[in-house]
Each structure stands twice: as C-alpha cells, then as structure tokens.
Amino acid sequence: MDRRTFITGIAGGILATPLAAEGQQAVKVYRIGLFHIGLDHVPPALYGLREGLKELGYEEGKNLRWDFRNLPDENAAQATAREFVREKVDVIVAFENEAVRAAKAATAGIPILFLHVLTDPVGEGFVQSLAHPGGNITGIFGDVPAKRVEFLTELIPHLVRLLLLFDPTDHTSLQELTAVRAAATARKLQLVERAVVTQADIERVFTLASRENVQAVVVVSGLVTKFPALVIRLAAERHLAIPGHRREWTEQGALFSYGANYFSVGRTDGARLVDRILKGTKPAALPVEQIARLELVINLKTAKALGLTIPPSLLSRADEVIQ
C-alpha cells in the first residue's frame, strides 16, 4: 500500500472475535470503512465520530472494527471504496464530496454516510431529495462561503480586490464559486479568479499574488481545501488575510473561520446516524440533515500581524477568540 496512505484499525485491520462461551451468543462485530482525501490533515469529524460511537456502546476491539484511510487523490479513493465493498463493511463513511462520489460509484447496496459535504447533495447527485434521499446514501451537509466574504469586508473595511482560488475540474468548487461571485458583486469587490488543479498550481498563484494587488484570498472547496497548512502558510508569507471553513484553519493561522464544528458534528449527529444504520435503518429512510449551528472563530494574533483591528461588534459575535 502507498506509504502516503494512512490506515488505522485493530491489529492491522484484522479483528478476531473471541469464541463465545458455551451457551452464549457470539458478539456481533460491526465493520466501518472510513476515508478522506487530503494528506496534510485528518478530518476532525473522525475524532468526534469515534468518541460518539464509544458513548453509544461501540468499542474497538469488542464489537467494532474501524478502518480509516487518509488518501492522496480520487484514484486512491476509488480503489479504497472498491476494497471496502469487497470486505463487505457494514457502512462506509465518506468525509467530503470526492470520497462520496467514489463510494457511490463502488456500491448501490452498502449504506454510505457523508459527514463533510459542503455543497448541496441533491445538486451533486448524491441523493434524490433532502427529505427522501432514496438509494443507499444520506448524511450531513452545509457551508456558507458567501458569509465568509461578508465577514472579510467587516474585518477589512478597505477591502477592494480579492483573490479567489478554485478547482475547475471539481463540481463542488463550481457550486461555491457561484455563491462567492454573487457575494463579491453585492459588496462591489473585484475578484481575481485563478484556477488551480495541483499543489504546484497553488504555489505558483501565490508567487504571483503580489502583482495582483489583492488584500485577501478565499479558497472554495475542492483540491485547495485539502492543503490548509500550505494555503495558510503561503497567505501569511504574503500578508494576505484568509478565512477558513472550519476552526482548525484559524488555529493554524487563518484570520477567522466560519463554519461547522466538525468534531461536534461527528460526535453527535454522525454517531447517531451510524448507530441507526447499524441497527437496521436504511439510508433512504434517514433524511439528509443540514448543519444548524455555525461558529465564528477569530485569530487576534493573525489580525495583529496583518495590521487589522477587529471591530468590537464582531468580537462580541465570535464564538471563540484565539489570542
């Protein structure tokens, strides 16, 4: 297996169920296959899901086999999805759009749960409708890229030009691109749009950013959000403000983040849905859920480095302020 692929499991992914004592029923061992595309981080929802399932009575080494893969690209995701199908896992958990697409292509029978889809799952073709998903897929979704543009204009009153990075090969990026364009137009911002497909593209665009006379950068879901550490570092080196879609970006140095607390999503909603699926409920009978609560996290250290003063009105609305 590619050395870049990260696997966690029990004894290398093999769990031997102890022989039941005479007169006792063998313990059912549930198998969960989980995968994510993006090598420089592990999705926070994973940790929350593990904790939430433990609270519901699922314990690795006893009644749960857990196989998580951190993957470099969609080709690896497609191969992993097929492997999960061959292994006949009880449920597949996919953490973003590309992983969901790979799982959907691999099986129409094994239940699939998504936990980190940022765009409309109906528009993506994952489900028939939010209330009645149909098929074998359901999950949790939600993101607000336009709101992050709004917060940028509050934090940077003199904001005029905004660098926008998107992946033209990814349908998810194209959905969010439309929302960001509308938000920028409403606030009379000039967008400098740059298409990126590889990590090298991201580095090249930032190298040329100084010529663009931009003051901030926004990335939309797709390939660029799989390299948060790289994007945040390059923005900091060029003194560009950058928002994130989850708190981990702010912890790494982004100016702010506005989005879901994915640890909480995994621990509560994700664990609840996995539990229902393992107990026999079909995904078609589980309505897709939209993330209800979003968090604003502001990094004051980054604001100071950028020469920005955070308005008190915005600080008072923050769920957390990182000093």
More confident residue, 222 or 50: 50
* Least confidently predicted of 106-120, 181-195, 221-235: 221-235
Nearest 5°: phi and psi at 127?
-135, 160
- Segment 173-198 shows an average pLDDT of 90
129: CB partners within 8 A, 6+ apart: 122
- Segment 264-280 shows an average pLDDT of 97
Closest CA to 113 of 125, 127, 124: 127
Q: What is the pLDDT of residue 17?
A: 39
Q: What is the pLDDT of residue 220?
A: 86
Q: What is the pLDDT of residue 10?
A: 33
Query: Could you give the domains of the chain?
Result: 6-141+261-290 (3.40.50.2300), 145-259+295-322 (3.40.50.2300)
What is the percent of the chain with per-residue pLDDT over 70, rounded to a whole number? 91
Say whether pLDDT at 31 is over 50: yes
Q: What is the pLDDT of residue 40?
A: 74
Q: Select, from the ranges 31-45, 187-201, 273-287, the one with the highest average predicted confidence (pLDDT).
A: 273-287
Closest CA to 63 of 53, 78, 75: 53
Closest CA to 300 of 316, 322, 278: 322
Can you give the pTM of this predicted structure?
Answer: 0.83
- DSSP calls for 264-305: HHIIIIIHHHHHHHHTT--GGGS--EE----EEEEEHHHHHH
Q: What is the pLDDT of residue 9?
A: 42
For the chain, give the mean pLDDT. Answer: 89
Q: Which long-range contacts (CB under 8 A, 24 or more apart) does 74-81 make?
A: 74/37, 74/98, 74/101, 74/102, 76/2, 76/5, 76/37, 77/35, 77/37, 77/102, 78/102, 78/105, 78/106, 80/33, 80/35, 81/35, 81/105, 81/106, 81/107
What is the percent of the chain with per-residue pLDDT over 90, rounded to a whole number? 70
